[in-house]
Every structure is written in structure tokens, then in C-alpha cells.
Structure 1
Amino acid sequence: MTDTTTTNLSQRPVLILGSVSFIAGAIIMVLSTMIHPSGEDPFNHPLVLAEYAHSELWVGIHIGQFVGTMMVFVGGFVAIYRLLVYSESSIISLLAWLGLSLTIITASTFAILQAVDGVALKFAVDSWIASPEGDEKDLIFRVGEGIRWTEYGVNSVFRLLQGTVAIIFGLAIAKNLFVNRWIGVGGVIVGIITVISGIEVSYFAFAYPNFEGIRGISMIIFLTWVVILGAAMLKKTFVKRI
């Protein structure tokens, strides 16, 4: 793909795939997260793990988050890679390859996160709640708490990778101009904030609910950015083709 504002006929399916993946994936992610149990202090393990144990939708919520995130990364960002990799600029092409590599790693990390949080943790907390009072119950709680700590670690790495993907593709988009330059600049800013949220989780875990603080801000602006990017890609399918 050359650095131009026109749309090649062969690019149209990729633009449609990317736009639909970004927009639909972000919507699924938001809806899934909105119904995620969040009534208790996420850092108060006895209360929050009991809340998770009583959630009948827990596994389904995390499957929804998984599907939405895979659409964003496997559908959306891979489409961006495809649109950028054949650029006449070697720098843009290199950024596209680097972005693709990080996209694969990020999507894989999120899959692990959902396996830990959405499946393993649920089995542990259900077993804890169902067990009789005594040493065994305390032991099972510690197992669940250990899984929760693992979730903190994987979540922090995912956020670091997620932010880096936004920065890399943001830089490439800003230089390539296949959509508005400011969308690329926005991606860089969103990525930096997301990386900071990953560092925060590394040191402070989940110190507050999902939609609050820098964790909440990073989630909201990242999903807003991919929706804007998806809309710009969809708009480009209507641009005069050559």
C-alpha cells in the first residue's frame, strides 16, 4: 500500500474486516464488562471472591470479553498490519511487522488471562464456598487467592502489551496517513496511558473498581480509540477507489 488517501479495490475487504472487528469487538467488550460483578472492593479478597462465587454469569462474561478482545486484536489490528505492511516507507513497514508480532503476543496473553480469571478462579471460589468450615476451607481460599494474584500479574503484562500495540500502530498510522493523522497520534497517547495502567497494576493490583482511576480511563479511551479507528476505516471504503 502506498502512502495515499485513495482506496485500492483490493483493500476494501480488509478495511471492512478491520472496521467491523474493531467496532463489534469494542461493543462486546463493553457490554461484557458492564455486567461483570463489581459490588465489592476488588482488593478485599474474602468479599470479592465470595461475590464471584455467587455469579452465575461469571464464565459467560469472560467468554464475552475474550471474544470481543480477540475481534479487536486478531481482526482489527491484523487488518491494520495488512494495510500498512506494503507501504513504500520501510519505517512504516517495519512498524507494521512489529505491531503484528506484539498483537499476536498480546492476544495470547489475554487468552491466558481469561483462562486464569474466567475459568480457574471460578472453580476455586466455587469449591471454597461449597466446602465446610475448617482447615480445608481455609486452604481452598488460599488457592483461590493465589489464582487471584496470578491474575494481577497476567493483567499487568497484558496492559503493558496492549498499550505498546497502540503506540506502535499509532505511530505507523500517523506517518502513513491512510486515515487521519490525529487518529494515529491519539493511538500513541492512548497507548502511553495504557502502559501506565499496566505499571500501576504491577505495583498496586486492583486497588479500585474496573471503571475508576487510570485502569478505568485506559480501558475507556482504548475502546473509544479502536471504535474511532474502525469508523475511519469504514468511511474509507466509500472513498473513490482506483
Structure 2
Amino acid sequence: MILSGSLILVGLIVNAVQRGLFHPTGAADHHDEIFTKYAASQAWIATHLAEFLLVLVALAGLLVLCTVLREHTPTLALLAASAIIATAAIWAALQAVDGVTLKQAVDAWAAAPEVDRATRFADAEVVRWAEWGLQSYFRVLLGVALLLAGAAILLSRLMSRWLGVLLLLGGLLSLLIGFSVGYAGLESPFQDVATIAFQLVILVFAVGLLAAGVRAQKANRR
């Protein structure tokens, strides 16, 4: 549990810091404005590579948790681990599109002569819409993984039930965000609130899991 909680915390916190420092911000669905910022960013590819690796670190923490739960709830733990692996795969595709393909598309638009700018802009929008689709399915798959892991925690009774409840809540929020992205794009008032709530839920879960692991380790030494 210590390793699992530590990996999740490191992935979440370091990624939040590096995104805050290097990732351009703005209205994600106002393409003229945001594409200009993306084209001007010198750190775009690097910050997305960092994000890719750090989220994988957090997902690895969930996989470690599944190995802990497998002895007590083998079916649910296996299903959760499978969903986490699928989530990691679609995350890789999402970051390839967002971190590399979109950057090339907006750079080509920014550098194009006036006669070609409309075509280049349309190309960049197609890439952006592909990102929407991948983001939507990433969130849905992550939600399924968290729901399965949360149910495994509740049934295993290996740790406090409130940790399982937190994962169930996080899974539900991730599912709802995924559906919202699919219908509304990358920004909406609901996503603003739900994303913050999701991040807080997973942060509290990771801290609680780490604390539970430390307590269990101390108890085993007595």
C-alpha cells in the first residue's frame, strides 16, 4: 500500500506542478486563441512527454494496488488491472495526438501563407477533435478502472472502506467527465467543477492509502 500510494501521489503532484509551469492555458475550445498559444509554446512536446510518463506512474500505483487486492478479490482485481492497462494504452494514444500531432498541425497553420491558412486551420481542428474523442474514452476507461478497484477494496476488507468509497466516487466523476467531453468538448462549467472534485478525491485517496500502508507496516513490526 505504501508503494501504491507513493506512486499515485508522485504522479499526480509532480504532473500538476509541471503543467502549471509549462503548459499553455486558455479557453480550450476557442481554437483561434488557443492554437496561437500552442504554436508559440517551446515546451509543448516536452511537457506532454512529462505528463505522459507521470500519469503512467500514477496508473502503475493503481496496478500495484490491484496486486495487493488480488489475493482477496481475484476476479475484481484482475478486471481492474485489465481496465488500468487499457487506460494506459489509450492515454499513450491521446498524448501522441495532443503532444505531437496537434503541435505539428498548429505550427503548420501558424507558418502557412495566408492562402493556405484556412486549410491548415481545418487540419488542426480535425486533430483537436480526435483529441476530444481520445480524451473522452480515456476518462471513461479510467472511470471503469476506478469503479472496479473501489469495489475490490470494499469486498476485500483489507483496508478502510472509505478508501473504496473514494475510488467509487472518483470512478463516477471520471465517467461523467468522459461523457461531458464527448458531447461538449474540452471545457464546460460541469467539467470545471467535476475535474477539481476528481483531483481532490484521488489526492485524498492516495494520502489515505499511504497512511494505511504506514500503519500496517508499523503494526507488523510490533
TM-score, normalised via structure 2 length: 0.91
Amino acid at match of 1:37: P
CA distance in 1, matches of 2:7, 2:55: 9
- Structure showing the higher helix proportion among its residues: 2
- What's the counterpart of residue 78 of structure 2? 97
Does residue 66 in structure 1 map to residue 52 in structure 2? yes
Deviation at 1:208, TM superposition (A): 4.3
Higher RCO (C-alpha 8 Å, min separation 6): 1
Residue 58 of structure 1: how far off its partner (Å): 1.1
Q: For structure 2, list consecutive stretches of 5 or more residues without a partner in the other structure.
A: none
CA distance in 1, matches of 2:132, 2:148: 25
1:86 paired residue number: 71
Give CA-to-partner distance per residue, 1:106-141, whole Å, 9 cap, x none. 01111111001011101111111112211x222111
**What displacement does 1:33 show?**
2.9
Partner amino acid for 2:37? E
Q: Percent identity?
A: 31
Tell me by how many angstroms 1:238 deviates: 2.8
How far the C-alpha of 1:210 sits from its partner, in A, is: 11
> Is residue 2:116 matched to residue 1:131?
no
Shift of 1:27: 1.2
- One of 193, 199, 210 as aligned partner of 2:179: 199
Whole-Å separation in 2 of the counterparts to 1:209 and 1:130: 33
Q: Which stretch shows the higher mean deviation, 171-180 or 44-53? A: 171-180
What does residue 37 of structure 1 align with?
A: 24
Q: Distance in 1 between matches of 2:214 and 2:162?
A: 17
Contiguous gaps of at least 5 residues in structure 1: 1-14
The 8 Å contact of residues 162 and 194 in structure 1, kept in 2 or not, is answered as yes
Select between 96-105 and 28-37 the one with higher mean Cα deviation.
Answer: 28-37
Over the aligned positions, Cα root-mean-square deviation in angstroms equals 2.1
Q: 1:234 to 1:112 in 2, by over 3 A?
A: farther
CA contact (8 A) 2:9 2:206 kept: yes
| One-letter identity of the residue aligned with 1:146 | V
Cα distance in 1 for partners of 2:133, 2:162 equals 33
Number of the residue aligned with 2:93: 112
Q: Residues 192-235 of structure 1: CA distance to partner in whole angstroms, max 9, x if unpaired?
A: 11111111111001134998232343344334433433443344
Q: Choose which of 97, 102, 126 in structure 2 pairs with 1:121.
A: 102
CA distance in 2, matches of 1:219, 1:19: 14
Matched positions, count: 221
Name the CA distance, whole Å, in 1 between partners of 2:169 and 2:205: 10
